[in-house]
Structure 1
């Protein structure tokens, strides 16, 4: 595949990206990833992981200390004029003039946007058409986030950057936003998303990367990232039964268990095998497994494990450093 074909397939390309701030703090430490056309890619990480620094570089707000970035085949910092009209950016806070109405705010923004869609259409997309004449200062936090999104979508962007897009939204508003983002993806828009809501990333992202201390700790589809985590089965032991009365847990593919009163919690990497064996046992024994809960591993579990392991590795490295100094 030649470079032209490669660039066409990868709308965003990040190669060995580094960002060092004045004073020597290295916020981004040589990360690489790509995002294809019509793909939703989520960047996750704990506070200080390097998400904001990375996104600012990809948006072209600063030049990287080292490494290479291409957005739509261009350097977003040095070729900003070629990139900016083709992207939309939703920041964490828009900073709108509070005395303007919603429609006036969109109209003002449209005057600075190439090929802006009609104001009514932009407001309809995010469910704010009925609030067009309301002043910005009278909007709820969730409505302001919708206004942020409307402005990001004004120019019909090919690439959309969403920074914590559903903060402040209620459950219905969050679901509406997810549906809109999926529809944009299906129409070919490429989306780079940052979020603290792991459920949001798990629901929306085609692929994701988890950052920790400026490096990529895990990447892949949500299913790939969670695959290394055990699934869980929990239920209340039937009256008169104990753990030893169950089939041998190892034969069911159970890797570990714990009890809380009469509730038994099992961990397994073979969920179907374990659940099937357990249900067959209950049927043959003529007992009911009250409170039965069978669930696959979640992205939250994978995220927390990565955070714990990284913290433990950091503590171990610190101890080794102390030993060398001593």
Structure 2
């Protein structure tokens, strides 16, 4: 469901209406059925909404109606006006989705955007979706954020932190652990037998041999040496400003970036509407649209559903890839 006052309900309805021509797999919503019906009416969409009691019912009804598995907690949402009172339902939806995956009742978890401020106001202790999912995955899991569009996959090594804190957060161990997870996921989830990684430097011109910053010399290069010794195919630290043009992108399957915007700016510039957030390093498949709750347009019928379409398709593809790996002779 995501934030019920945001565009999550809007784009979910829109994707279901495009089910025939978009190629999306069957899906169901974890939400309040009354809320979904209210939003459909507000948007003027003729979408039949059917409450289900089990995901087993989805395949038989998906073509005629949008299946909604109801939440236990009530939801009272006004488009554009998030409320902390709905935080419990938002959290319940995420927890339930992970639980259903663990029971083999769902093949993937696709999350609509959440409004973090509302969750924080209700006492939510996690920085965001990704960190919460890592906690639900249990000990030993390290969640790694990958953003993907056709032709580019990027991974921010540090994610949601102030830019001034990034140099102190970088370490050889963090880069090594992140790259290992990315390389393994490219093989298992994306079917790339010999993945190639590019690794961006932190400083302009990748530090100019230490004259513009020491992080490349003291942290990034030593991490890459460890990874190369393990047989991982990579290059770097590379100047970030020359890493994302078409010729450069042809050299790698994913780029590791040192901070959030270094990764997301090129990706969103290349293909803003079709970006997908993929969480690597978890025992379950999780994707999400690569955008926020867009409170200013919630309930107005102008939200673009393409990123959710892409997230559903990629989740289906990854689930299929994992199934093939599990059942390989």
Q: Which has the higher contact order (CA 8 A, sep 6+)?
A: 2
* TM-score interval (norm. to shorter): under 0.3
Greater share of helix: 2
Structure of greater Rg: 1
User: How does the TM-score come out when normalised to structure 1?
Assistant: 0.27
